[in-house]
Amino acid sequence: MLVPHHSVLKQLPPFARLSEIEITEVLRSAVPRRYPAGSVVFEQGAAALHFSVLLNGRLRVTQVTPTGEQVVVRIVNPGDIFGIARALRLHTYPGTATAVVESLALSWPMEQWEPLVERYPSFAASAIRVIGERLLEAQSRIREISTEVVERRVGHTVLRLVQQSGVREAEGIRIDFPISKQDLAEMAGTTLHTVSRILTAWEHAGLVDTGRQKLMVKDPHRLLLVADGIEPGLLG
Amino acid sequence: MLVPHHSVLKQLPPFARLSEIEITEVLRSAVPRRYPAGSVVFEQGAAALHFSVLLNGRLRVTQVTPTGEQVVVRIVNPGDIFGIARALRLHTYPGTATAVVESLALSWPMEQWEPLVERYPSFAASAIRVIGERLLEAQSRIREISTEVVERRVGHTVLRLVQQSGVREAEGIRIDFPISKQDLAEMAGTTLHTVSRILTAWEHAGLVDTGRQKLMVKDPHRLLLVADGIEPGLLG
DNA sequence: CCTGCTGTTTGCGCCAGATCAAAGTGACGT
DNA sequence: ACGTCACTTTGATCTGGCGCAAACAGCAGG
């Protein structure tokens, strides 16, 4: 099936307001791409040749500093647009994207971006909203990192994951892709060691359930209280 | 002069590609607003009623955390669009904007945003770029705050100010609006005291010249070396 | 079943930088 | 000129959480 994406695409906000004909038109220049778990989708510094929509799977976008430390910029969820460097007048990708699980994306050559924005105002409006949401999230993280103590930062990081990538289960909400303590540390702006200690404390208190690359939040409400500083930390 | 803004507006990227007639049209729904130094332009949590373009002056946008700490989100420079909360589907402003010097802005009712984006693709494209730039800057700050030591963070903060709001002078580059050490601290994610110590050290080394709400960078090149960790810190 | 690899836990010492405290100084109004 | 207020400097102390180190546990592949 060369065009299984017709209906899928219509679900996504950026394309929701396009007609059947327009979608067919838009799909003409798109190619589906499959990324095995662990593979690199694009690399920091490489020429920005494509922008894409994630159909399913999960990507992790990281940046490395000039001195070699890594930070996780964001997690790309199904439905998200990613790799839009050129819209920001960049010629290279500002970060590296890696598939954390087997993933499928729909990919357009970068030159299609401008026409898409110019021709479909609803696409432009949607793009603004998507980028705007990322901006708000980034600003929240800045506020968190610069004013909050580690335990609360880790709390907010986990809650953000729950909201963006959580699936309800009997015992709580599971983050449905493999995530290491190292990843959490790079999201919260701390170290692997500190994250490990915090999660262990939370596990004893019954807030979460953790394991090798597994994370499940059993008591989101109470975790929120800790993250917001209403309930004191559980360390020590 | 009710419409002195015709030519001014045409200088600004979001409006640069509009025709004379279109600009007249766009200006019809705009009102100029004057903000005395120190006055509040809009307040965090208030209903988002307007979006604006800063014609001259300088605004400081801050956020306060639930627990009362403040962080400086960004400085609005002439030519910048600000207060576009509604474009991000927010109904209230996520931060507070204060005029640091007497400022003049052109202001539209929020309902005009969607029509503007839908009608003028070049406006939409420009908005995407502006928001995207803020996003990149926010991500840089996240990387800095979570991986760099204070001195280098303060360095990058100052360099960012130089780039965005610096004016060449005989002795170096001056930040052309009043900025306190407290402001710098809230931008770099540290405390007033630490900023003071660092700037004192830099002053002794001839990198900067500081005073009461004054900041001038005498040796931007060397400051960059310190900020990038190529040259060791000057503290102690 | 063993072996290796990668992710995780936990203990301990230490230091960057926050916090507390107090004195110093430039700008502005009267 | 003087006093006041806001901003700044500097010192002294305290501590969160980082860095280092070493042991431990899932999981994959032979």
Task: Look up residue A38 and give its amino acid.
Answer: G
Nucleotides on strand D with an atom closer than 7 A to protein CB? 7-12, 16-21, 26-27
Q: Is B81 helix (H, G, I), strand (E, B) or coil?
A: strand
Q: Are residues B91 and B166 in the same domain?
A: no
Residue A38: is its pLDDT beyond 90?
A: yes
ipTM of the complex: 0.91
- pLDDT of the residue at A11: 85
Integer Cα distance of B218 and B215 in angstroms: 10
Q: Are residues A62 and A39 in the same domain?
A: yes
CA B52 → CA B97, B117, B131, distances in Å?
12, 14, 14
Q: Which of B129, B155, B178 is the endpoint of a domain?
A: B129
Domain count, chain A: 2
Residue B29 domain flag: yes
Among A residues 85-124, those touching chain B with beta carbons less than 8 Å apart: 87-90, 94, 114, 117-119, 121-122, 124
CATH number at residue B192: 1.10.10.10
Task: Examine residue B233 and state whether it is found in any structural domain, yes or no.
Answer: no
Q: Please state, in angstroms and rounded to a whole number, the distance separating the CA atoms of residues B146 and A178.
A: 23
**Residue A4 pLDDT level (bands cut at 50, 70, 90):** low
Residues A30 and A92 in one domain: yes
Judgement on whether residues B153 and B197 belong to the same structural domain of the protein: yes
Tell whether the model's pLDDT for residue B1 goes beyond 50.
Answer: no
Q: Are residues A88 and A190 in the same domain?
A: no
* Dist CA B100 CA B61 (whole Å): 10
Of B129, B155, B170, the position where a domain reaches its end is: B129
Nucleotides of C under 7 A from a protein CB: 7-11, 16-21, 26-27
Give the model confidence (pLDDT) of A10-22 as tens digits. Answer: 888 888 888 889 9
Residue B16 shares a structural domain with residue B114: yes
Q: Are residues B9 and B114 in the same domain?
A: yes
The shortest C-alpha distance from A213 to chain B (Å) reads 22
Tell me, yes or no, if B141 comes closer than 8 A to chain A by beta carbon: yes
Do A187 and A129 belong to one domain?
A: no
Last residue of a domain, one of A114, A144, A174: A144
Q: How many CB pairs under 8 A join A and B?
A: 129
Asked if A131 and B133 come within 8 Å (Cβ–Cβ), the reply is no
Q: Place A1 in a pLDDT band, splitting at 50, 70 and 90.
A: very low
- CATH number reported for the structural domain that contains residue B82 in this entry: 2.60.120.10
Q: Does A45 touch chain B (CB under 8 A)?
A: no
**Average pLDDT of the residues of chain B:** 93
Domain that holds residue B163: 145-227
Q: Kindly report, residue by residue over B59-86, the tens digit of the pLDDT.
A: 999 999 888 889 999 999 999 999 999 8
Is B108 within a domain? yes
